[in-house]
């Protein structure tokens, strides 16, 4: 197998991106193990030789998809335009906005999110990527909490950050994946109140 190509021209970049987009659709629809490289190449309208000139194998491509997915979620959904989290006088409203952004994040390619979550427990390389991206989110939450220095009830910000991230993720998954038996807004209201009472004096 030849050397993996690094795109130098717009045409090459477009071909690589076409492969990535086609792969995400197939991984989302059929799952990682039910998708093969030939299918991806065909869906991207490239030869299998061209596929392997850009990606070592299917797993390398899946991880690239995962990295891009995580970057889109973090930069376009989770981070406010002003780059600040937990800002504002109405603390419960601010926490509700955080939860709303997390819900919005799960609206972007939920099928791929489910596949990536499952792959985490089946592949160590995927698990490492997920853990790295989750650490970025956790660090961002902790940094944001520091901006409320003196107004927080909690003192262990790392532990608090882990609790917040996991509480929000759990409820968001309940809403977007498990489909709860009660209205979404009721869960959001109770979760935002719980986090607000936990965090702030």
Q: What is the pLDDT of residues 107-156, one digit of tens each?
A: 888 889 889 999 999 999 999 999 998 898 898 888 888 888 788 999 99
| In a shared domain, residues 103 and 169 | yes
Domain that holds residue 52: 1-56
pTM, two decimal places: 0.81
Same-domain pairing of 136 and 117: yes
Same-domain check for residues 91 and 116 = yes
Give the pLDDT confidence of 5-51 residue by residue, as tens digits: 665 677 888 999 999 999 999 999 999 999 999 999 999 999 999 99
Q: Hey, what's the torsion of the CAs at 28, 34, 38, 39, to 10 degrees?
A: -40
- Please state, as a whole number, how many other Cβ atoms lie within 10 Å of the Cβ of residue 139: 12
Write down the pLDDT at residue 85. Answer: 61
Rounded CA separation 77/170 (Å):
18
**Claim to verify: residue 191 and residue 164 sit in the same structural domain:** yes
41 and 130 belong to one structural domain: no
- Is residue 13 domain-shared with residue 38, that is, in the same domain? yes
In a shared domain, residues 153 and 103: yes
């Amino acid at each position: 197998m030849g050397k993996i190509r690094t795109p130098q021209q717009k045409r090459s970049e477009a071909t690589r991106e076409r492969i990535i987009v086609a792969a995400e659709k197939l991984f989302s629809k059929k799952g990682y193990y039910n998708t093969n490289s030939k299918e991806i190449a065909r869906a991207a309208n490239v030869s299998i030789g061209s596929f392997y000139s850009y990606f070592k194998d299917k797993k390398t491509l899946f991880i690239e998809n995962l990295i891009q997915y995580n970057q889109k979620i973090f930069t376009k959904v989770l981070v406010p335009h002003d780059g600040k989290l937990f800002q504002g006088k109405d603390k419960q409203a601010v926490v509700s906005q955080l939860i709303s952004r997390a819900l919005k994040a799960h609206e972007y390619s939920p099928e791929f999110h489910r596949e990536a979550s499952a792959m985490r427990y089946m592949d160590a390389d995927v698990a490492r990527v997920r853990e790295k991206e989750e650490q970025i989110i956790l660090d961002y939450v902790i940094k944001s909490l520091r901006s409320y220095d003196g107004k927080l009830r909690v003192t262990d910000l790392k532990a608090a950050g882990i609790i917040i991230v996991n509480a929000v993720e759990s409820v968001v998954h309940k809403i977007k994946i498990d489909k709860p038996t009660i209205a979404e807004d009721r869960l959001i209201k109770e979760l935002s109140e719980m986090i607000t009472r936990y965090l702030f004096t």
